[in-house]
Amino acid sequence: MATDALPVDDLNRSVPPYKHNPSAWSQRIPICLLAFVAAAISAHLSLYQWGFIQSTWDPVFGNGSNEVLKSDTAQSMFGLLGIHDAALGVIAYLGDAILGFAGSTRRWQYRPWLVILFGIDVIPLGIVSVILVLCQAFIVGDWCFLCLVTAAISLILVYWAWDEVRVSLAYLRIVWQNHHSMRILWNAFWGYRSDELDQAAEQLLSREVS
């Protein structure tokens, strides 16, 4: 079994097809900080939806934000989910930040489950944000400035997070192609270490950068 810890330089190696390490702190910390910003904005919007404040801050559309957050569409979502969409956003963005901070700078190999869970939290949130913006345009007929800000943040997070998700999936694909074993693939998914799994990771790392 390959259980020895790798030197820092190896942990931070760039991962093809990229010229950087998608799991590096320089990649993940901006994601986490931006997620905290989006969570704080969503908390402000949530306070209005729950009735704790009388109005939201909107320097562009005036009362438009209030109209969007109290619209029939927003109320329908609340009836369906049992929680306001802004409150759900707080939970999702905090999840982005927490999952972004977890793991080492080689978690694409050592914690693929964590990277994929991170992607499951980030990517659908970006899709939902786009849908909510479309609802503002074509159903509600009003605009919410802070909602647009969080939607933009969501799309930025998707863009920044995708490279790490991609390399984790590429690593798992190599493991499957090499062994066609669900047991070995399962071990790789949970980040277990072995010579054969380290060889699969090295195979990915040795690819040419496009």
Q: What is the mean pLDDT of each run of 10 residues along the chain (210 residues)?
A: 52 91 95 96 96 94 92 91 92 95 94 96 89 89 93 94 96 96 96 92 85
Strand, coil or helix: what is 191? coil
Strand, coil or helix: what is 194? coil
With a CB cutoff of 8 Å and minimum separation 6, the contacts of 207 are 16, 17
Q: What is the pLDDT of residue 38?
A: 96
Q: Which residue ranges make up each domain of the chain?
A: 21-163
The residue type of 26 is S
Q: What is the pLDDT of residue 3?
A: 43
Provide the terminal-to-terminal Cα distance of the chain, rounded to the nearest Å: 32
Query: Which of the four CATH numbers 1.20.1440.130, 3.40.50.1470, 3.40.50.800, 1.10.10.10 does domain 21-163 have?
Result: 1.20.1440.130
Q: Do 5 and 198 form a contact (C-beta atoms < 8 A)? A: no
Q: What is the pLDDT of residue 5?
A: 53
Tokens encoding 152: 């933009």
Q: What is the pLDDT of residue 205?
A: 93
Q: What is the pLDDT of residue 81?
A: 86
